[in-house]
């Protein structure tokens, strides 16, 4: 029998670069790929690698994630021993507070390792899209007699400033670690997948908790310190697709790649099915006059209009004469007759009025309030927003969750903003 | 409803649906893309708060058992009630096989007695409909009848398919005639009955075989108080190829009579995890139901596709029902066919057309599970391809009226 394994999944991040999409839900709970949530990839990797004992660390807006994970049933994680547990910050223990950083989050949950008979602890992130057999990581770790193994992926040179970059010796041992360096000779980026020897993890977390200047983060504090002090840290180079979908542009591109002719991974691959909580929805109903091409369309959708190069989540209705092009449309959104969507991301339950035009005009005008995230010509509409008939919405515009019809009295220019009733910047 | 047990009759071999039930009970035949026929009865039970359900199976039940499992999709996996599969069993005194519907109930009568239910709701696993049984049960209670029959109006020319009921002014059934050539009225029995437990217990003591012929008709003829409850919604017995096909195609009509997407009455099923439908560059889809996991690069019109069907570029599927994980290769054309699970249709094959073959087949082509149809094969309308057919079965065109034999997966002729 396989020795028992335990994984922590870090799912507490604010995900501010995803703007409206993660305003009301944790980033791992953001819908992805037509029916999944981002965390489904990590959860499925765990169960497909035989790991059925998991703690999910949440902090920011966990409701949506909680509801999605439920009892863990979709991943066969509803078990009498092990299974899945949501670890939200709590009061009552000796040191207890909001999680200060990723390392602190695990530190505050070390209690969960106390009675678990595991030699290693897997620390994962719930923010990434990839398929990985963690068995291979364990084997690599043991073969190297490592005390920590970090999974790494090669990234383009100009993006090293977005990642933790590792330098290795020819044996794969990590000799340098820099968090988001401006420049680096190495292009090996940490995937946020760490395998620790149990005792090593506990020892270093306890030490880190006592260092006042630390921000208690794995990438910023813990790993550089481990490497600098000669701990046996190895890098495991992961050869396949791995994508951080933490920015609107990377999120959009990754979704489009899944809808393309050669998707980066097949969620139905029998060797590693991506599991998710599926609602009971009927098959997709294509009606008379529908045109659909190069798209992913989930159960429960009704298509009477045109859909091109788009990702449609369950229950989306595209009425006759409507066009959805290069867009991502989430659950139960209605695109009424004659409306046109171009490079738009619509959250759940949005109502697009008849003849409305989303994604018009100049793409070079960045968004007025979040120019750093919304400047490539995408357009964002928050959950439950209502767009009146015939309205025109410019590119890089942002319409907040819950905006009602009467709040929009004129066309919205490129880069424009309409805030919802409880907007947060 | 703790004072009620529902017995779902799902034992039928369904000779009238040919190869579709070679390896499964009629109730387990896929319907509406992702569902099985029995999902309708089970979902109705779930939404009507029926908590104790026995499913009586006999013919090729594996698929049905797999599907129902512990009853989880219908929230029927409860600690002390839920769904039970009632398969024939041996005792020292009986041979076990169900000789008919009444015999099946009689052999499982202990279950009814153990639950101490006042009423027994008898359902069929072969019907497609959305019905709130609570209204039927209330009607039964209010009339104080010994038994109540669910009835529905049918066109008079359809009487040969049904048990036709005569209902008097007080709403009592005074006569029931099975499948008459000509019927006086248009009221058909749906095969849905509520019995007072006492009444059914007494009727079963005489060793009846068939529930309608040996229990219900004699009860009515002897003047028992049999009420009629008229159901006005869509209801279809899909136990024949023709009715199955028409009910399937009705789902893709402009205004389907059966709503699958009513969020207040969802049809619950065991859902396999499949990705969204993938629609490629050359795809063209109209008036069709396409389930998750399908990959469409060809043309699909007026058809119903179960999960995981692959339609390659240039392939064309019209007026057809395609089950799970079928692959239709490049430039193959399929018209008016029902294609069972895992079938592979080779490139350039020509399947089906408008008319031909025996009357019961209505000019359709049926292709049994696991068949491998080689490239450029011809199958004329009104032909049946057996389960697991292989290359050598297709030396020449499969003509109307021909039925290729079933083959077992390990190679013998079955």
Cβ pairs A/B, distance under 8 A: 115
- The domains found in chain B, sorted by start residue, are 4-250 (3.90.550.10), 278-394 (2.160.10.10)
> Which residues in chain B have Cβ-Cβ distances shorter than 8 Å to A268?
273-275, 293, 308
For residues A391 and A408, what is the distance between their CA atoms, to the nearest angstrom?
8
Work out the pLDDT band at B414, boundaries 50, 70, 90. very low
Residues of A in contact with B324 (CB under 8 A): none
Q: Assess whether pLDDT exceeds 80 at residue B12.
A: no
Pairing assessment for the beta strands A328-329 and A344-346 based on DSSP bridges: parallel
- Which numeric CATH code is attached to A285-418? 2.160.10.10
Helix H segments across B86-240?
101-107, 109-115, 133-143, 197-204, 211, 217-221
Q: Does domain A7-259 have CATH number 3.20.20.70?
A: no
Q: Which one is predicted more confidently, A62 or B167?
A: B167
> Residue A2 has what pLDDT?
46
Stretch A389-400: mean pLDDT: 97
Q: For chain A, what is the mean pLDDT?
A: 93
Of A282, A288, A293, the CB nearest to B286: A288
Minimum mean pLDDT range among A229-233, B10-14, B62-66, B302-306? B10-14
Task: Report the percentage of chain A scoring pLDDT > 70.
Answer: 97
pTM of the model: 0.91
Residue A19 confidence (pLDDT): 83
Which chain B residues are closer than 8 Å to A267 by Cβ?
275
Most A CBs within 10 Å, among B273, B308, B317, to test the A interface:
B273
For residue A265, give the chain B residue with the closest CA. Answer: B275
Q: With residue A105 as reference, give the H or E element that holds it.
A: helix A102-107
Q: A278 near B276, Cβ under 8 Å?
A: no
Q: Can you tell me the mean pLDDT for A360-371?
A: 92
> What are the pLDDT digits (tens) for B355-394?
998 999 999 999 999 999 999 999 999 999 999 999 999 9
* Residue A95 vs residue A202, higher pLDDT: A202
* Most B CBs within 10 Å, among A284, A316, A320, to test the B interface: A284
- A248 CB-contact burial (10 Å; exposed 0-12 / middle 13-18 / buried 19+): buried
Segments making up each domain of chain A, as ranges: 7-259, 285-418
> Residue B383: what pLDDT?
96
B300 lies within 8 A of chain A by CB:
yes
CA distances B254 to A339, A408, B86, B291, B306, Å, are 22, 35, 40, 18, 20
List residues of A whose CB lies inside 8 A of any B CB: 33-35, 74, 259, 261, 263, 266-268, 273-276, 278, 280-300, 302-303, 307, 311-313
- E strands along B186-296, which residues? 187-196, 226-230, 235-237, 277-279, 284-286, 288-290, 295-296
The whole-angstrom separation of Cα B410 and Cα B102 is 37
**Between chains, do A296 and B276 touch, taking CB under 8 Å as contact?**
yes
Interchain CB distance below 8 Å, B275 and A267: yes
Nearest by CB to residue A286, choosing from B32, B260, B288, is B288
Is B187's Cβ below 8 Å from some Cβ in A?
A: no
**Closest C-alpha to B311, from B293, B299, B323, B324:** B299
What is the pLDDT confidence band of residue A263, given thresholds at 50, 70 and 90? Answer: very high
Q: Distances from the Cα of A38 to the Cαs of A27, A28, A234, A346, B288, in angstroms?
A: 7, 5, 27, 17, 30
* Residue in A275, A286, A293 closest to B281 by CB: A293
Contacts of B73 in chain A (CB under 8 A): 280
pLDDT value of residue A423 = 62
Of A114-118, B79-83, B202-206, B231-235, least confident by mean pLDDT is B79-83
Contacts of A325 in chain B (CB under 8 A): none
Residue A298: list chain B partners with CB under 8 A: 276-277, 292
Identify the CA nearest to A360 among candidates A421, A299, A412, A398: A412
Which value does ipTM take for this structure? 0.87
Average pLDDT, chain B: 92
In which residue are the tokens 């929230």 written?
Answer: B75
Whether B33 and chain A come into contact, CB under 8 Å, resolves to: yes
B269: contact with A, CB 8 A cutoff = yes
In the predicted model, what is the mean pLDDT of residues A95-112? 86
As a whole number of Å, the end-to-end CA separation of chain A is 51
8 A C-beta contact, residue B154 and residue B188: yes
**Residue range B128-138: average pLDDT?**
97
In this predicted structure, the answer to whether residue B2 has a pLDDT above a threshold of 80 is no
B152-177 residue pLDDT tens: 999 988 888 899 999 999 999 999 99
Taking contacts as CB-CB distances below 8 angstroms, the residues of chain B near A280 are 73, 266-269, 271
Rounded to whole angstroms, how far apart are CA atoms B219 and B200? Answer: 10
* Contact assignment for A274 to B273 by CB distance below 8 Å: yes
Which residues of chain A neighbour B304 with C-beta distances below 8 Å?
283
Put simply, the answer to whether B281 touches A74 (Cβ < 8 Å) is no
B-chain residue closest to A302, CA distance: B289
């Amino acid at each position: 029998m396989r020795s028992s394994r335990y994984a922590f999944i870090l799912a507490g991040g604010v995900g501010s670069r995803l703007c409206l999409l993660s305003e009301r839900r944790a980033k791992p709970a953001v819908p992805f790929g037509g029916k999944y949530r981002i965390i489904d990839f990590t959860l499925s990797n765990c169960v497909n690698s035989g790991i059925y004992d998991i703690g999910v660390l949440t902090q920011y807006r966990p409701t949506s994630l909680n509801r999605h994970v439920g009892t863990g049933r979709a991943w066969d994680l509803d078990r009498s021993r092990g299974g899945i547990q949501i670890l939200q910050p709590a009061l009552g223990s000796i040191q207890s507070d909001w999680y200060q950083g990723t390392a602190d989050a695990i530190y505050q949950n070390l209690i969960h390792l106390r009675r678990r008979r595991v030699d290693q602890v897997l620390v994962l992130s719930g923010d990434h899209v990839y398929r990985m057999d963690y068995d291979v990581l364990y084997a690599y770790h043991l073969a190297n007699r490592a005390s920590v193994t970090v999974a790494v992926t090669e990234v383009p040179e100009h993006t090293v400033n977005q990642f933790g970059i590792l330098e290795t010796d020819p044996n794969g041992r990590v000799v340098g670690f820099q968090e988001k360096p401006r420049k680096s000779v190495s292009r090996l980026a940490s995937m946020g997948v760490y395998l620790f020897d149990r005792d090593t993890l506990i020892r270093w977390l306890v030490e880190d908790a006592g260092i006042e200047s630390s921000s208690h983060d794995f990438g910023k504090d813990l790993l550089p310190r481990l490497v600098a002090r000669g701990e046996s840290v190895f890098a495991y180079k992961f050869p396949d697709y791995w994508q951080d979908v933490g920015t609107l542009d990377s999120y959009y591109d990754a979704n489009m790649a899944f809808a393309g002719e050669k998707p980066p991974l097949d969620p139905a691959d029998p060797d590693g099915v991506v599991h998710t909580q599926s609602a009971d929805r009927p098959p997709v109903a294509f009606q008379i006059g529908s045109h659909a091409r190069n798209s992913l369309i989930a159960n429960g959708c009704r298509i009477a209009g045109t859909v091109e190069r788009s990702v449609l989540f369950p229950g989306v209705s595209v009425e006759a004469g409507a066009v959805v092009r290069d867009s991502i449309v989430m659950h139960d959104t209605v695109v009424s007759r004659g409306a046109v969507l171009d490079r738009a991301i619509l959250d759940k339950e949005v109502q697009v009025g008849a003849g409305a035009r989303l994604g018009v005009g100049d793409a070079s005008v960045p968004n007025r309030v979040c120019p750093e995230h919304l400047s490539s010509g995408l357009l964002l509409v928050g959950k439950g927003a209502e767009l009146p008939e015939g309205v025109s919405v410019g590119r890089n515009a942002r319409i907040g969750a819950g905006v009602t019809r009467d709040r929009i009295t004129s066309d919205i220019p490129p880069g424009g903003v309409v805030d919802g009733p409880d907007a947060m910047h | 409803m703790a004072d009620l047990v529902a017995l779902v009759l799902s034992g039928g071999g369904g000779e009238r649906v040919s190869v579709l039930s070679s390896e499964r009970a009629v109730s387990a035949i896929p319907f509406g893309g992702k569902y099985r026929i029995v999902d309708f009865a089970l979902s109705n039970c779930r939404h009507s708060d029926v908590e104790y359900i026995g499913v009586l199976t006999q013919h090729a039940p594996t698929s049905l058992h797999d599907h129902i499992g512990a009853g989880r999709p219908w929230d029927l996996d409860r600690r002390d009630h839920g769904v039970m599969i009632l398969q024939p069993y041996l005792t020292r005194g009986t041979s076990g096989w169900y000789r008919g519907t009444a015999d099946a109930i009689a052999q499982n009568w202990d279950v009814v007695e153990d639950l101490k239910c006042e009423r027994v709701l008898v359902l069929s696993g072969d019907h497609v409909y959305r019905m709130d049984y609570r209204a039927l049960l209330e009607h039964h209670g209010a009339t104080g009848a010994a038994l109540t029959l669910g009835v529905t109006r049918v066109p008079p020319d359809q009487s040969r398919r049904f048990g036709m009921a005569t209902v008097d002014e007080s709403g009592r059934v005074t006569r029931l005639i099975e499948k008459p050539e000509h019927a006086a009225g248009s009221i058909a029995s749906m095969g849905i009955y509520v019995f007072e437990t006492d009444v059914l217990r007494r009727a079963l003591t005489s060793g009846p075989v068939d529930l309608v012929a040996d229990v219900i008709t004699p009860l009515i003829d002897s003047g028992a108080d049999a009420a009629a409850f008229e159901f006005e919604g869509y209801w279809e017995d899909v136990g024949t190829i023709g009715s199955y096909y028409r009910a399937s195609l009705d789902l893709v009509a402009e205004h389907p009579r059966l709503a699958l997407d009513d969020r207040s009455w969802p049809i619950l099923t065991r859902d396999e995890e499949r990705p969204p439908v993938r629609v490629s560059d050359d795809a063209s889809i109209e008036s069709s139901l396409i389930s998750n996991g399908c990959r469409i690069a060809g043309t699909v019109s007026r058809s119903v596709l179960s999960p995981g069907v692959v339609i390659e570029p240039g392939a064309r599927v019209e007026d057809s029902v395609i089950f799970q994980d079928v692959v239709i290769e490049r430039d193959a054309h399929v018209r008016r066919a029902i294609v069972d699970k895992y079938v592979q249709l080779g490139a350039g094959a020509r399947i089906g057309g408008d008319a031909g073959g025996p009357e019961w087949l209505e000019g359709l082509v049926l292709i049994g599970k696991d068949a491998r149809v080689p490239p450029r094969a011809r199958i004329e309308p009104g032909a049946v391809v057996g389960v697991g057919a292989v290359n050598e079965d297709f030396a020449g065109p499969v003509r109307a009226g021909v039925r290729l034999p079933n083959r077992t997966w390990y190679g013998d002729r079955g």
